[in-house]
Structure 1
Amino acid sequence: MSELHKFLFDGLPVRGMIVRLTDAWTEILARRRADDAQSTWPWPVMQMMGEMAAAGVLMQSNIKFNGALIMQIFGEGPVKVAVAEVQQDLSLRVTAKVVGEVASDAHLQDLVNVNGRGRCAITLDPKDRLPGQQAYQGVVPLNATPGAGQPDLAGVLEHYMRQSEQLDTRLVLAASETVAAGLLIQRLPAEGEGNIAHGRSMDPAEQLEHFNRIAILAGSLRAEELLELDIETVLRRLFWQEKMLRFDPQTPRFACTCSRERVSGMIKGLGQDEAGSIIAERGEIDVTCDFCGLHYRFDAVDAAQLFTAPGDRPPGPSTVQ
């Protein structure tokens, strides 16, 4: 079962969380295979999407946002756009549009940042928007990670969180065909309810020293350990000398927010003439959800009802109670 664990380092201004997606991740992959064998992602894309799914869950849980967190990566390369969406209850879905060949050893740079113009956008879309309220979006270039070498997703997101939240962050991500996992360590604000130093004053240099020590421990975690070991074993091996305060685990799950009503609205947006021409050519309108693979089919009668006022529709069959 997929699980997310949150924890605090007792007396230190450092928090952490670790996620391990198992059934949620394998269901996402299974739905792609069931829909069309050709839609199965090449391995480098699958790895990137698993890391995005794990990172999205960690970031949504970290900010406690009442709405959807949407992570989008786009640029130039065979992956035109990749999306991970996580709701407040940690239900998630991911998709990617892949065009062209993907090398078996491709990295993030090769997939979406061929010419150095790739971007990662994080959008916070409120569940109940107030009149005039807009979604918040932050964007960071994929080549904004410090140091040499090719950019990776963990480094890009660390940069984003330092930039948007002004908090030092260490992130480790990994994915396989059966598991997508991640570990996030973050330095808490010097003051406020997030600082749990139990009344003990701590100067900035001491705070940074504690964070750096724990971040180094987190950075020693290898991808194969994150994927193969259970959460309890990972935390024990990394932080056996630290006293941690643990919270009840949460259960991320796959869920899609698509519906026939939403697709109906999209068809109405096309207009009656355009919808009619599609049905004349193909016999029906067939819309497939990119996230879950579910098909929504509208024949001529279904489409006509969309553009007919409720009072003008013929009565449906009666039901005898």
Structure 2
Amino acid sequence: GNRYQGMVTWQGDSLAQSIEGYFKQSEQVPTRLWIAVNAKHAAGLFIQSMPRESARLGKTSANEHWEHISHLSATITAHELLMLDNMTLLRRLYAEEDVRLFTPKSVKFGCTCSLERGENALRLLGREEVEQELHAKQKIVVTCEFCSKEFVFDRVDVERIFKQDKPDSSHQVH
């Protein structure tokens, strides 16, 4: 899918509070987050009110259920987050609830940057601005803001990029 970058105001006294504020303001989804870190590990507990569940329960019941789960979750300690396995942690927090643990999935960073995206960035600037930069520095470096990969463009590249944008007069229909 497409990746978008947004900026939000830092809220609260912690990263967790700021993320909660983002979900409340931007996504309008009740969210709570607890984060714990030590020298070797980082762990977190993330809960959200699910819209379909709210619709199924009705507004009052959904709010009561959210408050109940939030209060249970708030009893977690940093030590528990860092030291307990997931199932033990969930059973301790939500002993009376029907809890299901999904199969874990590995998380890895996979940037979708490409030479083509770098070329498109130059097209957005326009030929005049690109030519000025090229004249001043002999090359243009486009850096991906996600993975820091650099794409270097010289005069030959710039000519090719902007030549592609010109309609070929031999194929025009009159």
TM-score of Structure 1 vs Structure 2, range by shorter chain: 0.5 to 0.7
Residue matched to 2:136: 281
Matches within 5 A, 1:196-275: 204=60, 208=64, 210-275=65-130
1:154 to 13, 16, 20: 16
Matched residue, 2:155: 300
- Name the amino acid aligned to 1:155: Q
Deviations, residues 241-277 of structure 1 (Å, cap 9, x unaligned)? 4331344444433121221111101112223333233
2:32 corresponds to 1:170: yes
Q: TM-score, normalised by structure 1?
A: 0.41
Deviation, structure 1 residue 292: 0.3
Within 2, Cα distance between the matches of 1:294 and 1:71?
20
Give 1 or 2: higher strand fraction.
1
Q: What is the one-letter code of the residue matched to 1:171? A: L
Q: For residues 160 and 268 of structure 1, do their structure 2 counterparts lie closer, same or farther at Cα, with a shift above 3 Å needed?
A: closer
Residue 192 (str. 1) matches residue 43 (str. 2):
no
Secondary structure of 1:254's match? coil
CA contact 2:35–2:44 (8 Å) conserved in 1: yes
Q: For residues 10-60 of structure 1, give each alpha carbon's deviation from its aligned partner in whole angstroms, at most 9, with x where no partner exists.
A: xxxxxxxxxxxxxxxxxxxxxxxxxxxxxxxxxxxxxxxxxxxxxxxxxxx
Tell me, what secondary structure is at the counterpart of 2:35? Answer: strand
* Aligned amino acid, residue 221 of structure 1: I
Q: Distance in 2 between matches of 1:70 and 1:224?
A: 33
184 and 282 in structure 1: CA distance in 2 versus 1, 3 angstrom threshold: same
User: C-alpha separation between the residues in 1 aligned to 2:4 and 2:144?
Assistant: 19
Unpaired stretches in structure 1, ≥5 consecutive residues: 1-65, 74-118, 121-141, 143-149, 196-201, 313-321
User: Can you give the 5+ residue segments of structure 2 that lack an aligned partner in the other structure?
Assistant: 169-174
Over the matched positions of the two proteins, sequence identity in percent amounts to 35
- TM-score normalised to the size of structure 2? 0.67
* CA shift in 2, pair 1:308/1:170, >3 Å: closer
1:72 and 2:20 are equivalent in the alignment: no
Equivalent residue runs for 1:25-64 within 5 Å: none
1: distance between equivalents of 2:7 and 2:119? 25
Higher relative contact order (CA 8 A, sep 6+): 1
